[in-house]
């Protein structure tokens, strides 16, 4: 079977780190005797410059004909304000693709290799034998989309003065919670088999329903340990004892908050990949894979960017869209090896490390490809 990948590098450091990711993918293709068909297409400002819009028709067509999208990053702070909001890369490409492919599950793994403990904001003794957390965030429901969502004028008080009232609504239905819970339990099976479900069941109706549904779904995964935690305690525990977590299952807003907090523990955004998954169809699980960081235009084109987030995104792609967990592990182990060998891009370099060697984007990619 041919793996069909749409590679949209985008703007800023996107093309540089994508090049290294493809290099590593080619090494995996060879080692595992796969047939990988990678087609590159412009997106973001590259799309606007090439075809007049952030998501050119040909690029969208390519995505629809592919098994998944390997995405770089889009948007340029100095050019974005020159066009209307709806046409900017963030909305016209990123959000558009999310909607087009009904991406409802956002997976953000945070793994701190012990060699990079100096880059983690936590004291060493809190890092234990290494932080390794996967935040599974529901991406299409909850507070950010629920209706009613409006600001209205009301008159209040004896004076009947006009004041404003803002309303947002958190809504979840049983099936929405079920499908994201299945993603969490399935992915926990590929890890340390523990799910911490985050909610606020002591005050929210959504919290009670979330806890009930997750508890029910858990019965289908008797080999996975389930625990429940309130979101405020979760925010505290991530700082106090992050090593207690394997998979953290969150609704949309709590996942937005906790995944960023967890990301801060990872040392550098340049190390963090992400996956956004749609429904599993007959042809497999469509997925959208991108690094957590942005376009970083200040270092673009200078061979300074850390390609690891993009490279680890391809590992997630092999794992979740193609069910090639061995190939995914090969990439993750190769990254672990070059880190352990002391190779560092600038964002993870510390002069205090004795065996560290500062390298550029391409050298890092070469080394990881060679380690496959």
Residues contributing to the site for a copy of itself (CB under 8 A): 120-124, 126, 143-144, 146, 149-151, 154, 156-157, 163-175, 200, 203-206, 208-210, 231-233, 235-240, 253, 256-261, 263-265
Q: Looking at 49, 150, 241, 260, which residue is catalytic? A: 260
Q: How far apart are CA 269 and CA 41, in angstroms?
A: 25
| Residue 260 is among the residues annotated as catalytic for this protein | yes
**End-to-end C-alpha distance for the chain, whole angstroms:** 21
Neighbours of 223 (CB within 10 A): 8
| C-alpha to C-alpha distances, 334 to 31, 143, 308, 315, nearest whole angstrom | 13, 39, 10, 11
| Residue 80 is among the residues annotated as catalytic for this protein | no
Q: How far apart are CA 365 and CA 224, in angstroms?
A: 35
Q: Looking at 168, 212, 256, 341, which residue is catalytic? A: 256
173 versus 283: smaller Cβ distance to a copy of itself? 173
49 versus 232: smaller Cβ distance to Mg ion? 232
For residue 20, give the H/E element and its range.
helix 14-31
175 versus 281: smaller Cβ distance to a copy of itself? 175
Contact partner, 173, from a copy of itself, Mg ion, none, Cβ < 5-8 Å per class = a copy of itself
Closest distance of CB 5 from a copy of itself, Å: 30
Closest distance of CB 256 from Mg ion, Å: 4
The answer to whether 12 touches 294, Cβ cutoff 8 Å, is: yes
Q: How far apart are CA 21 and CA 28, in angstroms?
A: 11
Place of tokens 């935040």: 135
| Residue 132 is among the residues annotated as catalytic for this protein | no
Contact partner, 83, from a copy of itself, Mg ion, none, Cβ < 5-8 Å per class = none
Among 65, 227, 232, 298, binds Mg ion (CB under 5 A): 232
69 versus 265: smaller Cβ distance to a copy of itself? 265
Closest distance of CB 64 from a copy of itself, Å: 26
The answer to whether 21 touches 314, Cβ cutoff 8 Å, is: yes
Contact partner, 126, from a copy of itself, Mg ion, none, Cβ < 5-8 Å per class = a copy of itself
The answer to whether 330 touches 293, Cβ cutoff 8 Å, is: no
For residue 211, give the H/E element and its range.
helix 205-218
| Residue 144 is among the residues annotated as catalytic for this protein | yes
Residues annotated as catalytic (active site), given as ranges: 144, 200, 232, 256, 260
């Amino acid at each position: 079977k041919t793996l069909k990948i749409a590679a949209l590098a985008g703007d800023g450091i996107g093309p540089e780190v994508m090049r290294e990711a493809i290099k590593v993918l080619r090494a995996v293709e060879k080692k595992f005797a796969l047939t990988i068909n990678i087609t590159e297409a412009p997106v973001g400002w590259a799309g606007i410059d090439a075809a007049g819009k952030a998501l050119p028709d040909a690029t969208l067509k390519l995505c629809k004909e592919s098994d998944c999208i390997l995405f770089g990053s889009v948007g340029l702070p100095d050019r974005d304000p020159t066009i209307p909001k709806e046409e900017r890369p963030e909305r016209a490409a990123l959000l558009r693709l999310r909607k087009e492919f009904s991406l409802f599950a956002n997976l953000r793994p945070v793994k701190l290799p012990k060699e990079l403990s100096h880059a983690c904001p936590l004291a060493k003794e809190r890092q234990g034998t290494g932080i390794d957390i996967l935040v599974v965030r529901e991406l299409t429901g909850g507070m950010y989309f629920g209706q009613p969502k409006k600001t209205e004028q009301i008159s209040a008080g004896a004076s009947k003065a006009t004041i404003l009232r803002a309303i947002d609504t958190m809504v979840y239905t049983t099936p929405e919670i079920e499908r994201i819970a299945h993603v969490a339990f399935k992915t926990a099976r590929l890890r340390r088999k523990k799910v911490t479900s985050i909610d606020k069941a002591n005050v929210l109706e959504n919290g009670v329903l979330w806890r009930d549904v997750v508890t029910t779904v858990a019965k289908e995964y008797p080999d996975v340990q389930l625990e429940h935690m309130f979101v405020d305690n979760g925010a505290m525990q991530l700082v106090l004892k992050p090593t207690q977590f394997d998979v953290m299952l969150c609704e949309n807003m709590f996942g937005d908050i906790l995944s960023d907090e967890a990301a801060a523990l990872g040392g550098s955004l340049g190390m963090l990949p992400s996956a956004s998954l749609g429904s599993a169809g007959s042809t497999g699980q469509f997925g959208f894979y991108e690094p957590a960081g942005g376009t970083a235009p200040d270092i673009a084109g200078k061979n300074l960017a850390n390609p690891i987030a993009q490279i680890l995104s391809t590992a997630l792609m092999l794992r979740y869209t193609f069910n090639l967990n061995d190939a995914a592990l090969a990439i993750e182990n190769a990254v672990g090896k070059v880190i352990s060998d002391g190779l560092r891009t600038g964002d993870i370099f510390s002069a205090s490390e004795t065996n560290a060697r500062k390298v550029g984007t391409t050298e890092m990619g070469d080394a990881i490809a060679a380690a496959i």
